[in-house]
A and B are shown apart, each in its own frame.
Chain A
Amino acid sequence: GIQVEQSPPDLILQEGANSTLRCNFSDSVNNLQWFHQNPWGQLINLFYIPSGTKQNGRLSATTVATERYSLLYISSSQTTDSGVYFCALTGGYQKVTFGIGTKLQVIP
């Protein structure tokens, strides 16, 4: 099956700093999605981004499908950005694979 690697596994940022999270995958994919799991456990849809670049406020994401990676950028980080960031991929029909996540802590 598809292998998904996220890096870094853990990240501590000072409030206001920028960061880049990476998701590498081993095979071609039909879609890729980024999620944020907040400290209360809720999974929030950030981006559906099988290719190209999207931006939403301080967050943006880029997927280069031909090179099998996706990047999530967080600019001017805030304490509310803390939590775990997952990428999830669908290769074949309904074959969904989640990475194990990047745990982000933003400190004031």
Chain B
Amino acid sequence: NAGVTQTPKFQVLKTGQSMTLQCAQDMNHNSMYWYRQDPGMGLRLIYYSASEGTTDKGEVPNGYNVSRLNKREFSLRLESAAPSQTSVYFCASRGTGTPNYGYTFGSGTRLTVV
């Protein structure tokens, strides 16, 4: 099915470990996003990529890096995980022009850092 695919769905890391969250979309969208969701705080933007080859910081970028590998794929890397990065991470993509201007979200990655 068309949409946004995130891997893995669950992950437990020890403090200081690194990992990469993968995201791919097959809707030919230009823009891709990484959000984190914490209880009572809604979704906060970590990084986004307006188009292939560009990335920009969002609201909470510290401790993260991203790579827009190609138009389909946008990865999020934690170089040295901290307990404060325990969260649910969502990848999203967005097209341009009606009717595709809205967001489509992946199913999320639940990350626990111990």
Q: Taking beta carbons and an 8 Å cutoff, which residues of A are in contact with B?
A: 31, 33, 35, 41-43, 45, 48, 86, 88, 93-94, 96, 98-101
Contacts and interface: CB of A to CB of B under 8 A. Distances in A.
Contacts, number: 44
B50 A31 contact: no
Given A100-B40, A100-B42, A43 B105 contact: yes
A42 to B, nearest CB: 6
Query: Looking at chain A's contact residues, is the secondary structure mostly helix, strand, loop, or mixed?
Result: strand
Interface residues of B, number: 23
Given A41-B88, A42-B107, A96-B33, A86 B102 contact: no
B45 interface: yes
Given A94-B31, A94-B50, A96-B33, A45 B41 contact: no
Interface string B5-26: 0000000000000000000000
A72 B43 CA distance: 19
